[in-house]
Structure 1
Amino acid sequence: MTTWAQSLIRISTYEVETLQKRLADIADRRAAAHIRLGVLDAEAEIERDRARADPSAQMMLNAYLNGWKARKGAAEGDVVVLEAEEAGARDALSGAFEELKKFEHVAEATRLKALVAATKRENAAFDEIALRRRA
């Protein structure tokens, strides 16, 4: 394999690995955002239970729920943004992987052409040797 092909493949492999790490990071952040949504729902349910049991807590429940709605809306917005970012990262990774495969294919085709050319030269040399021996 030629050095230019090795260099292109090495660079493309690095790009694929970098994008895989980025995608994993985004997926982790998305999972954390979903967990945060679950925690917010659980906290709201706990506050509702407390308000049922304690009249003074019930007076504060509406204020809490207003803040909760704002926090939940922000967390849902984070999830939407992260899902879009994840889709973009998947597309970029797919493109980088296709590029890597193209470079590998070109390198293999170049290697095979060189092998065929070397075989032809070798056969021609053997034919020439055989003709000289006959003569």
Structure 2
Amino acid sequence: MTAWAQSLIRISNYEVETLQKRLAEITARRASAEMRLAVLDAEVEVEQERARQDADAAMLLQAYLNGWKMRKSAAQNDVAEIDAEEVGARDALTGAFEELKKFEHVAETTRLAAMIAAGKRETAAFDEMGLRCRAS
């Protein structure tokens, strides 16, 4: 394999690894954001149950629900943004894999072409030696 092909493959591998790390980080952030949503849903259920059992808590429930709706909306927006970022990262990773495979294919094709050319040169050299032996 030629030096340029090795360099391109090494660079492409680095890009793929970098994008895989980025995707893993995005996936972890999405899981965290989804966990925040689940916690918010659990908290509102607790507050609603408390309001059913306590008149003072019932009076404050509407104010709590207003704040909860804002926090939930913000968390849902975070999840949506992270999802869009994840789609972009997956697309970039797919593209990087495709580029890597192209470089590997070109390198392999170049290697095979060099082997075929070397074989042809060797065959030509043997043919020439055979002709010289006959001529002598």
Could you tell me which residue of structure 2 aligns to residue 84 of structure 1?
84
Query: Aligned pair 1:119/2:122, yes or no?
Result: no
| TM superposition score normalised by structure 2 | 0.98
Q: How many aligned residue pairs are there?
A: 135
Matches within 5 A, 1:29-44: 29-44=29-44
Shift of 1:8: 0.2
C-alpha distance in structure 2 between counterparts of 1:99 and 1:56, whole Å: 64
C-alpha distance in structure 2 between counterparts of 1:127 and 1:53, whole Å: 101
Structure 2 unmatched runs, 5+: none
Instruction: Name the SS for the 2:52 alignment partner.
Output: helix
Could you tell me which residue of structure 2 aligns to residue 110 of structure 1?
110
Structure 1 unmatched runs, 5+: none
C-alpha distance in structure 2 between counterparts of 1:97 and 1:66, whole Å: 46
Q: Would you identify which runs of 4 or more consecutive aligned residues in structure 1 move more than 4 Å? A: none
C-alpha distance in structure 2 between counterparts of 1:122 and 1:31, whole Å: 61
Aligned amino acid, residue 129 of structure 1: M
C-alpha distance in structure 1 between counterparts of 2:75 and 2:48, whole Å: 20
Shift of 1:32: 1.0
Q: Deviations 1:61-81 (Å, cap 9, x if unpaired)?
A: 111111100000000000100
Query: Aligned pair 1:60/2:60, yes or no?
Result: yes
Aligned amino acid, residue 125 of structure 1: A
Query: Aligned pair 1:17/2:23, yes or no?
Result: no
Could you tell me which residue of structure 2 aligns to residue 45 of structure 1?
45
Aligned amino acid, residue 112 of structure 1: L
| TM superposition score normalised by structure 1 | 0.98
- Aligned alpha-carbon RMSD (Å): 0.6
Aligned amino acid, residue 21 of structure 1: K
Q: Deviations 1:23-73 (Å, cap 9, x if unpaired)?
A: 111111111111110100000000001111111111111111111000000
Percent identity between the two aligned chains: 72
